[in-house]
Amino acid sequence: MWYELQPLSVAVGWAVFGLVLFEYGLLRNTRQFRFQAYVALAAAFGRIFFANLTAGNPGEFWGPRMYTVLPLTLIFFFVYAQLGPDEASIRDDRRLHFDDLLGYVGTGSIVALLSFQFANDWLVTAWAVVVFVLFGVALLLKRSMFLHQGILLIVGTSARVMHNLFGASYFSGGDWTGGYFVLGSAVAVMLACLPFAFRLRDRLKAQAPMNRLMGAVVRHPEQFMFFAPVLLFTLMLALKMRAGMVTVAWGIEGALIMLLALAVSERSYRLTGLTLLLVCVGRIMVRDAWGLAPRDRYITFIILGAALLLVSLLYSKYRDAIRQFL
């Protein structure tokens, strides 16, 4: 195949061959055919980095990159789906973690495809959407591998946000889409994963404990899905807002976090909101009261005062609820 096919087709050829081999191995219950199929599929995945991901012309959306990598992803996930926990005949395949390999290779191909398909700035939003889908799939299929992938990708997305926050030109200011819209949409998609994350946490609570480190990480997806976007949003406000408006923006963010914390009864969220409000108060006393232009100073005092009033009102109104999750 490597000799006969075009460079662009080799990965697809190997994957189709792997698929047929896998089916044959499954049909005849022959382990060696299935194992060979896994090798062919893994090789196809590796191959896309050398021929498929950089194929096509600039600005071409439905180009050779898309129509060769997407079918590969489909094949990877199809094979992964056949390796379900109920199948006794493929126990060895699962023992050797070929199911995990296929699952990771499938998601990896999508993540890699998006990296080359989308403009650099929009990549964080695209990856955030993949995180959303992974969390949804983890909940729907009850397979924790997708949750692990989602957590890994949220870490990757957060690292990638450094490109949006610090990677822009040192001199070109950039427009509002570069400044707020792209990052704002990524943060919104990440926060949209919170309902999935809470339901996954509740499900994981009922399961047997796993090893300490993995357990701590995986059993609290709601913490990842909260702290990653909040941290990114706070950083974005600090870096992209006009200096005079940063305290105001953080104050509003702190009040919104408090509201969210009350809605979901989550202690860490509430403490984060409070910390942010306290930082704002400190910032006003140390910096804003002395350094800001009069107009910015008035706006800061009014909005932060309103935010603090709102929080104290909420505290007194929901005193009992707050006491429960202190």
59 touches another protein by CB under 8 A: yes
298 touches another protein by CB under 8 A: no
CB of 81 to another protein, least distance (A): 8
In this structure, are residues 274 and 250 in contact, taking their beta carbons and an 8 Å threshold? no
Number of residues that bind another protein (CB under 8 A): 49
Pick from 2, 176, 298, 318 the residue near another protein by CB under 8 A: 2
Q: d(Cα 45, Cα 64) in Å, to the nearest integer?
A: 16
Identity of the residue, 142 or 163, whose beta carbon is nearer to another protein in the bound complex: 163
43 touches another protein by CB under 8 A: no
285 touches another protein by CB under 8 A: no
CB of 107 to another protein, least distance (A): 16
Identity of the residue, 77 or 146, whose beta carbon is nearer to another protein in the bound complex: 77
Pick from 68, 107, 109, 125 the residue near another protein by CB under 8 A: 68
Question: E strand or H helix at 303, and its extent?
Answer: helix 294-317
Identity of the residue, 107 or 300, whose beta carbon is nearer to another protein in the bound complex: 107
Which runs of consecutive H residues, i.e. helices, occur in the chain? Answer: 10-27, 31-48, 64-82, 91-95, 98-117, 123-141, 144-166, 176, 182-192, 194-205, 212-218, 221-240, 246-264, 267-283, 289-291, 294-317, 319-324
User: Alpha-carbon torsion 303, 249, 125, 274, what sign?
Assistant: negative
Identity of the residue, 75 or 303, whose beta carbon is nearer to another protein in the bound complex: 75
Identity of the residue, 159 or 278, whose beta carbon is nearer to another protein in the bound complex: 159
Q: d(Cα 276, Cα 313) in Å, to the nearest integer?
A: 17
Identity of the residue, 168 or 252, whose beta carbon is nearer to another protein in the bound complex: 168
178, two tokens: 């570069």
Nearest Cα neighbor of 135 from 192, 57, 89, 76 is: 192
16 touches another protein by CB under 8 A: yes
Nearest Cα neighbor of 274 from 312, 235, 222 is: 312
Identity of the residue, 127 or 269, whose beta carbon is nearer to another protein in the bound complex: 127
108, two tokens: 């990896």
68, two tokens: 């060769």
Identity of the residue, 75 or 137, whose beta carbon is nearer to another protein in the bound complex: 75
The one-letter amino acid at 103: G
Rounded to 5 degrees, what are φ and ψ at 81?
Answer: -65, -25
CA 111 to each of CA 27, 194, 267, 292: distance values in angstroms, whole numbers, following the listed order: 32, 21, 33, 44
Region from 70-78, 176-184, 209-217, 314-322 binding another protein, contact rule CB under 8 A: 70-78
Nearest Cα neighbor of 142 from 100, 199, 211 is: 199
Pick from 78, 122, 180, 227 the residue near another protein by CB under 8 A: 78
Pattern 146-185, binding to another protein, x per CB under 8 A? Answer: -------------xx-xx--xx-xxxx-------------
CA 95 to each of CA 88, 99, 238, 306: distance values in angstroms, whole numbers, following the listed order: 11, 9, 48, 58
CB of 90 to another protein, least distance (A): 14
Pick from 37, 55, 151, 187 the residue near another protein by CB under 8 A: 55
Region from 58-66, 146-154, 212-220, 246-254 binding another protein, contact rule CB under 8 A: 58-66
186, two tokens: 């990524």
The one-letter amino acid at 61: F
Q: Using CB under 8 A as the criterion, which residues of the chain lie in contact with another protein when the complex forms?
A: 2-3, 5-9, 12-13, 15-16, 19-20, 23, 48-55, 57-59, 64, 67-68, 70-72, 74-75, 78, 82, 112, 115-116, 120, 159-160, 162-163, 166-167, 169-172
